[in-house]
Amino acid sequence: MMDFTQFVEKIKSKYKKDELKIFNAIECFDKLHLSSLGSNDSEGYQVFTPQFIVKQMTELVENDILDFTKNVLEPTSGDGAFTTYIFQKRLETISSNFEIESLKALSTIYSIEMDKELIIKQRSNIFTLISLYLKKQKIEVDKSYFDMVKCIIVSNFMWAMFNSDNSMEGMIKEVAYKMPNAEKKDYISLEFPVWEISENNITMHKEYFEI
C-alpha cells in the first residue's frame, strides 16, 4: 500500500477556503445516488439521462474513454450519469498498480455542472463509486489514498457554467465560467487542473483552455 499523505498535504496547503469546504463535504453513500431513469427534476427544467443511453453513447467512443491519457469533459454533467459510468469502465481495465492507475484514470475526467446541488451530489457519487469498487474487489489501500481521490474530485468536478454563446475574437471560445460569478454575468474563465501522477510524485497545476 502506498502512502499519499505528503502529496495530499502539499495540494491541500494551496487550497482556498471554498476548496477545503468542498473536500470536507465529499461523502460516501451506501450506493450511487443517480437520477438515471430519464426523469425530470422537481421543477421540470432538467432531464436526467437514462443509464441505457449513457451505455450506448459511451460504447461509440469506448476506445477513447478507456485511454487514461485522453481527457474526457462532461459539460452538463448533472449528478454524474456519464462520469461515474466512464470511471467505472476505466477501473475495470486496471490489472496492476491499482492505486496509481486509478488516480490517473480519475485525473483526466473533467466535469462541469451549473446546478450546485447536483455537482455536490456528483462528487460524492464518484467517491462512492471508488469506495464500493475497492470493497467489492477486496483491494486494500492506505487511508491517505481516499484523501488523494478527494483532492482530484475537488479540482476536476467543477461548479461552473459551460460557455455556449459568449465568444471571443475570431473563432476562439472560452470553455467555461466560474459559478456563482457567471450567474451575475461576471464571466471569469475557468482554469482546468492538469495532473502529473507517478509512484514518486503527484502534482497539479491549472491552465486556461480555449476551443
Per-residue pLDDT of the chain (211 residues; tens, 9 = 90+): 899 999 999 999 999 999 999 999 999 999 999 875 555 545 455 666 767 667 776 776 777 888 999 999 988 888 999 999 999 999 999 999 999 999 999 999 999 999 999 999 999 999 999 999 999 999 999 999 999 999 999 999 999 987 766 554 554 566 789 999 988 888 888 889 999 999 999 999 998 765 5
Inter-CA distances, 128 with 14, 50, 95, 173, Å: 25, 20, 21, 34
183 is a domain residue: no
Residue 189: DSSP 8-state? B
Give the residue numbers spanning the domain of 27: 5-159
Q: What is the pTM of this model?
A: 0.89
Q: 3-class SS at 208? A: strand
pLDDT for 130: 98
Q: 3-class SS at 25? A: helix
47 is a domain residue: yes
65 is a domain residue: yes
Total number of residues shown for the chain: 211
Q: How many domains does the chain have?
A: 1
79 is a domain residue: yes
* The C-alpha cell that represents 5 in the structure block: 499523505
